[in-house]
Chains A and B, each alone.
Chain A
């Protein structure tokens, strides 16, 4: 096969397939009366507290095509967390079809169903558990109503099974029923199936995207290809607190393949025939930066100190401060300081976009967690009406919060407009590390007092962090002074041991010279590390088993009972003991995030001076687990990602340069660093589907630190964990 032939053939097939998957299906599809859907959505929006885009026309959630295909246009993106599979299960349950009959696609902004909240916060299944089932049930009833007309059989005599409606000895598929229908009756929301009748919810159905991911189908943002497409590379800041002073493009302009260099006030983009040509030309730009002031890591650490910035008390019981101040230096008093580093997202698929801006319309394909923010930014920058801009989310090669910031979409759109052709532009890895929206470094001061009976009399957690939620377009700037504390930084920061009579938690917020923002589990990773390490140390001080010690300080309300149950179940499942056995010791920790309690036990040894995690046991209570296998996969993933973040990862800042800028030097957990055994159990302690994707990141760092403490006597107070 010649190169030319192969190229052409493949390209056309790809384009058609793309159109087929995203656009072609819309044509000839049957849209269920959109205004009624809108009303329902607004009602649901109020009850489920889902801030949808104001203008919902059109707004396609479900679609049954005359070809009998059921398409669910998901407002949430699929970034590995398994949401598409969970949504398919929810829909299949009420539509009375098998799960594989539901085709889940990302909702493009032009077809509506725009989620104003983002995909994040472990809230996708939690917030859509009810609405998706209600809409699916409503659609089933609409289809049944139409089937009754077509078959001439009363609706109550119809049976629905596997997407086929049967009555009076005749059968029609959903596709046959919707064919040629233009007027629809919109019924009141039908009663939903009770839990005991679930056929799909609660079953370990294989992921709906499993096959495509195993055969390497083009599905990610970076895989988008368009005919006549050019490639671009955008110059991005290489220094912290610096502005572009000058950019000499003359050498770059003469590089092979270069089509155009676009200089905007806030960025420079090089457009070329191929990706490598664009990269090489961008690297030959002669750039000067104006540095505002010199920054090193010690400057950042000096800022990130409890006592700096704005303080907000977020939890107060009794009078912890005076009890602790009076106890200082006396028996039972303990004070420890903890630190966590700047953390990179390091998701494998770099950020980037493919844009086509032509004839007054703009389309951008990308991996984004915030399609609405992307839409707003692109339309504002191009000065185009939002109705003329379409954002088409793709499968994400990892999200972890990184893709709540998507200026790359606006940049690709500007570049495409400049040449009137499709342009694809991606970060290289160095840019990815230099321009991350990092997990902010944190500093924690923990103080506590254990009384003569071994009970905690007072506890205080004061912590300092840079932006998490505050640096985000989904969080209105006007809300900052009202809320005070950064709602992301405080995740996992409050004390869950509520029988302690005196508790005080204070969040200190500081401004840092580089961007920090959402990172999977937000403040939880660092906050739970500090709190759960400290609780273990208090248990040692009290001479008590750390599991019993924790249980003794948890209240008996619903939240407390759920927490106690995961702690007990996990300790039992792991066979937890606070005494080292041979060369190994166990570490215990538990935390609650977004309402879901999780407990973990790790088994650790020291080999060649390094910490080795052999086994992890976890128990999570997320309420109803829509897909227990994928919930377990999230727990396993959190444990491995948590081991990576709490044992290896840290960014440095030297002479305004954030570094390292490549994997390896930015050390992460590999296969050899993760446990050969991970044992996960789920408890369904609530009758709703609660958060899953982040809560299991809480305990892991402290669990490892607590194991090391019991093995070596060393209390590690800094992430990443390193032996003295």
Chain B
């Protein structure tokens, strides 16, 4: 079936099986590799992107539900060359190790900060529930608080 949506501000139209997870359309049809495959069961969060501003685990979200919606992937998080405050904070705190899970964490964080500009540690614990095997959680927590500060300074 034909499905049309906006992705990172650009209109896109794909002719695919509507039950295909959005993840594989983003990665293999639109060739945006920043969104990662981790588990295929919405259990790890590596594939997190935004659908109409909500953090969604795209491995378990059929592409047909994306019809007419606005999708943002990590590639679209920055404003051209200007990195998103979450990305800036990730760089300042030197968060990534292997880096594979980080796009999902950054997308989950960006969505959290939209709703809750100054999350407490408890808010972070309750909302950021992706998995990082390298164990970068300590720096991520610092980076999330830092991103909130950057946002506050910008507004």
Contact = CB atoms under 8 A, between A and B. Distances in A.
* A, B co-complexed: yes
Interface of A: 1-3, 6-7, 10-11, 14, 79-82, 206-207, 209-211, 213-220, 222-223, 225, 231, 256, 274-276, 345-350, 395-400, 426, 428-429, 629-630, 633, 636-644, 662-664, 668-672, 674-676, 678
Contact of A213 (B31, B78, B102, B131): B102
B69 interface: no
Given A214-B90, A429-B38, A429-B39, 18 more contacts: A10-B31, A14-B31, A80-B97, A206-B94, A207-B96, A213-B99, A215-B34, A215-B83, A217-B34, A218-B33, A218-B34, A275-B24, A276-B21, A348-B98, A429-B41, A664-B43, A668-B133, A672-B125
A79 B124 contact: no
A348 B141 contact: no
A241 B118 CA distance: 53
Contact of B96 (A214, A223, A399): A214
B10 A220 contact: no
Contact of A662 (B43, B75, B128): B43
A1 B100 contact: no
B152 interface: no
Interface string B1-44: 00000000011111101001100100011110111111111011
B30 A640 contact: no
A676 B121 contact: yes
Given A206-B91, A276-B20, A400-B133, A1 B46 contact: no
Given A11-B31, A80-B97, A222 B138 contact: no
Nearest to A207: B94
16 contacts: A2-B13, A210-B96, A214-B96, A216-B33, A216-B103, A222-B37, A274-B24, A276-B24, A347-B98, A348-B36, A397-B100, A429-B40, A633-B94, A640-B138, A641-B135, A664-B41
Given A215-B74, A664-B43, A672-B125, A349 B36 contact: yes
A676 B123 CA distance: 13
Contact of B139 (A211, A222, A636): A636
Contact of B138 (A3, A11, A396, A678): A678
B101 interface: yes
Given A216-B103, A398-B134, A671 B141 contact: yes
B33 A3 contact: no
B35 to A, nearest CB: 8
A348 B101 contact: yes
Interface centre among A80, A209, A214, A400 (most CB of B within 10 A): A214
A185 B12 CA distance: 57
Given A214-B90, A276-B24, A348 B44 contact: yes
Given A6-B12, A225-B31, A637 B135 contact: yes
B94 A209 contact: no
B136 interface: yes
Interface residues of B, number: 63
B94 A220 contact: no
Interface in B119-155: 121, 124-126, 128-141
Interface in B40-85: 40-41, 43-44, 46, 73-75, 78, 83
Contacts of B135: 636-644, 669, 674
Nearest to B75: A216
A82 B87 CA distance: 19
B13 A636 contact: no
A456 to B, nearest CB: 33
Contacts of B110: none
Contacts of A207: 94, 96
A643 B87 CA distance: 27
A52 B95 CA distance: 33
Query: Which 4 residue pairs are nearest across A and B when measured between Cβ atoms?
Result: A216-B34, A640-B135, A80-B98, A397-B100
Interface centre among A11, A209, A219, A674 (most CB of B within 10 A): A674
A391 B133 CA distance: 26
Contacts of B124: 671
Nearest to A85: B94
A2 B12 CA distance: 6
A641 B97 CA distance: 13
Contacts of A82: 97
B30 A398 contact: no
Interface of B is mostly: loop
A676 B139 CA distance: 9
Interface centre among A399, A637, A638 (most CB of B within 10 A): A637
Contact of B133 (A211, A220, A636, A641): A641
A637 B101 CA distance: 14
A281 to B, nearest CB: 13
A275 B106 CA distance: 26
Contacts of A638: 135
A223 B103 CA distance: 14
Contacts of B31: 6-7, 10-11, 14, 225
A450 to B, nearest CB: 36
A642 B41 CA distance: 25
A288 B22 CA distance: 33
A7 to B, nearest CB: 7
B34 A671 contact: no
A216 B14 CA distance: 23
Nearest to A644: B135
Contacts of B37: 222, 350, 426
Contacts of A672: 125-126, 129
Contacts of B29: 3, 7
Contacts of B12: 1, 3, 6
Contacts of B87: 214-215
A223 B34 CA distance: 9
Contact of A348 (B46, B74, B106): B46
B148 to A, nearest CB: 15
B91 A675 contact: no
Contacts of B28: 225, 231, 274-275
Given A3-B15, A399-B98, A664-B43, A670 B36 contact: no
Contact of A215 (B15, B75, B101): B75
Contacts of A345: 133
A349 B102 CA distance: 12
Contacts of B73: 216
A675 B139 CA distance: 11
Nearest to B11: A1
A636 B35 CA distance: 26
B133 A633 contact: no
A637 B138 CA distance: 8
Contacts of B138: 636, 639-640, 674-676, 678
Contacts of B126: 672
B97 A663 contact: no
Contacts of A398: 98, 100, 133-134
Given A216-B33, A222-B37, A209 B137 contact: no
